[in-house]
Amino acid sequence: MSEPCFRMSKERITVENKRIINNDRAVDCNQLVPIKYKWAWNFYLDGCANHWMPTEVPMQRDIEQWRDPNAFSPEERHVIKRTFGFFSTAETLVGNNLVLAIYKIIDNPECRQYLLRQAFEEAIHVHAFQYIVQSLSLDEREMFNMYREVEAIYNKDEYVMSCTDGILDSDIDTKTKKGLQKFLKNLVGFYAITEGIFFYSGFVTMLSFGRQNRIPGTCEQIQYILRDESIHMNFGIELINTIRDENPGVWDSEFDQEIIEFIKTAVSLEHNYSAECLPTGILGLNTDLLKEYIEYIADRRFERLRLPKQYNASNPFPWMSEVIDLKKEKNFFETRVTEYQTGGALEW
Ligand code: MN
Ligand code: FE
Return left, alpha or beta for 213; rule: phi > 0 is left, psi -120 to 50 is alpha, else beta. Answer: left
Q: Is the peptide bond before 74 cis (omega within 30 degrees of 0)?
A: no
* CA 48–ligand 1 middle distance (angstroms): 14
Looking at the CA of 235, name the nearest ligand: 2
* Active-site annotation holder among 37, 44, 114, 131: 131
* CA 166–ligand 1 middle distance (angstroms): 24
**Is the model's pLDDT at 98 over the cut of 70?**
yes
CATH class of residue range 15-345:
mainly alpha
Looking at the CA of 102, name the nearest ligand: 2
200-211 and 253-277 helices, crossing angle to 10°:
40
Cα(68)–Cα(287) distance, integer angstroms: 27
* CA 91–ligand 2 middle distance (angstroms): 7
* CA 286–ligand 1 middle distance (angstroms): 25
Confidence of residue 327 (pLDDT cuts 50, 70, 90): low
Looking at the CA of 229, name the nearest ligand: 2
pLDDT of residue 57: 97
pLDDT of residue 165: 85
Average pLDDT of span 267-274: 97
pLDDT digits (tens, 9 = 90+) for 164-174: 988 888 789 99
Distance (Å) of CA 190 to CA 121, 241, 263: 15, 15, 11
* CA 31–ligand 1 middle distance (angstroms): 27
pLDDT digits (tens, 9 = 90+) for 274-321: 999 998 988 889 999 999 999 999 999 999 999 999 999 999 999 998
Confidence of residue 5 (pLDDT cuts 50, 70, 90): low
Looking at the CA of 236, name the nearest ligand: 2
- Can 191 be counted among the known catalytic residues? no
Return left, alpha or beta for 29; rule: phi > 0 is left, psi -120 to 50 is alpha, else beta. Answer: alpha
pLDDT of residue 26: 78
* CA 88–ligand 1 middle distance (angstroms): 10
State which residues have CB under 5 angstroms from ligand 2, the bound ion: 195, 229, 232
Confidence of residue 342 (pLDDT cuts 50, 70, 90): very low
* CA 342–ligand 2 middle distance (angstroms): 29
pLDDT of residue 321: 85
Cα(229)–Cα(132) distance, integer angstroms: 18
Q: In sequence order, which residues have a C-beta less than 8 Å from that of residue 37 and are 6 or more positions away?
A: 18, 20, 108, 110, 111, 242
Q: Where are the domains of the chain?
A: 15-345
* CA 55–ligand 2 middle distance (angstroms): 19
**Is the model's pLDDT at 337 over the cut of 70?**
no
**Is the model's pLDDT at 1 over the cut of 80?**
no
Looking at the CA of 190, name the nearest ligand: 2
pLDDT of residue 3: 52
Average pLDDT of span 43-69: 97
Average pLDDT of span 212-228: 96
